[in-house]
């Protein structure tokens, strides 16, 4: 891997969907959120949001992506997005964060599944079928051959898209989001990292 070349990860959607991990191994997959303690070409050490330290081996050919701010007002019909949300008292769903994916990734990781950003949260990857601005902005997502989900997006909800990043962005205290696999010997490994750069923090 050329450590001087910024990389845009077209495979980062797999971190949001669990795609690429066989269901039999789902229990061995975990999402690591935290800040960089140290970085070497093949090892990333992270202080997790739980306060412990995770050493993650970076696999050959590992990929790196940054995030850039996007606007909820720019979300339109036909966009493919990933939204982490929680159920509301009125039976609907409220967004915790939104990722707008590049057009080349439309349809990848499509579906609705449990998520761990907050207790009882879910991740929905789908195509925007409708956008409304009644009592705030809300979207209707379609996924899995016609299933739909309505999600309101409160003011202040983080909305991002993916952006180029370089390994030099993995400096101490940088915020990262990593989908890692726990190997048979108990160690962690990963092939993809999302790092906060240019002042934008991965919200997922």
CA 115 – CA 187 distance, rounded (Å) = 23
Residue-range domain boundaries for the chain: 13-67+161-195, 70-159
Confidence band, pLDDT 50/70/90 cuts, at residue 202: very high
Instruction: Summarize pLDDT for 142-200 with one digit per residue, the tens.
Output: 999 899 999 999 999 999 999 999 999 999 999 999 999 999 999 999 999 999 998 99
Quote the pLDDT of residue 26.
Answer: 47
Query: What is the torsion angle, in degrees rounded to the nearest 10, for the CA atoms of residue 88, residue 144, residue 74 and residue 7?
Result: 110
Q: How many helices (H) and strands (E) does the chain have?
A: 1, 12
Count of CB atoms situated within 10 Å of the CB of 162: 22
Place of tokens 């739909």: 148
Mean pLDDT, rounded, of the chain: 87
CA 176 – CA 32 distance, rounded (Å) = 8
- The stretch 105-109 carries a mean pLDDT of 83
CATH architecture, domain defined by 13-67+161-195: Beta Barrel (2.40)
Q: Residue 77 is encoded by which pair of tokens?
A: 């019909």
Quote the pLDDT of residue 168.
Answer: 96
Instruction: Summarize pLDDT for 7-19 with one digit per residue, the tens.
Output: 344 444 444 444 3
CA 72 – CA 74 distance, rounded (Å) = 5
Distances (CA, A) of 196 to 22, 24, 204: 28, 31, 11
Quote the pLDDT of residue 19.
Answer: 34
- The stretch 71-90 carries a mean pLDDT of 93
Place of tokens 């609705």: 112
Give the least confident one: 21-30, 86-95, 99-108, 125-134.
Answer: 21-30
User: Do 132 and 70 form a contact (C-beta atoms < 8 A)?
Assistant: no
Quote the pLDDT of residue 4.
Answer: 38
- The stretch 106-113 carries a mean pLDDT of 90
């Amino acid at each position: 891997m050329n450590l001087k070349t910024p990389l845009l990860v077209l495979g980062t959607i797999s971190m949001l969907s669990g795609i690429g991990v066989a269901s039999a191994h789902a229990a061995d997959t975990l999402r690591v959120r935290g800040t960089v303690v140290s970085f070497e070409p093949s090892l990333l050490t992270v202080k997790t949001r739980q306060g412990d330290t995770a050493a993650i081996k970076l696999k050959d050919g590992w990929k790196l992506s940054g995030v850039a701010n996007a606007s909820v007002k720019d979300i339109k019909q036909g966009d493919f997005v990933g939204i982490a949300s929680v159920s509301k008292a009125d039976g609907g769903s409220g967004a915790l964060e939104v990722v707008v994916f590049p057009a080349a990734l439309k349809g990848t990781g499509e579906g609705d599944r449990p998520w761990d950003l907050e207790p009882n949260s879910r991740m929905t990857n789908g195509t925007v079928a409708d956008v409304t601005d009644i009592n705030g902005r809300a979207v209707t997502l379609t996924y899995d051959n016609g299933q739909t989900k309505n999600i309101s997006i409160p003011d202040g909800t983080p909305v991002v898209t993916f952006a180029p990043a370089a390994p030099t962005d993995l400096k101490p205290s940088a915020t990262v989001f990593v989908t890692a696999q726990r190997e048979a010997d108990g160690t962690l490994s990963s092939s993809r990292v999302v790092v906060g750069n240019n002042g934008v923090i991965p919200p997922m």
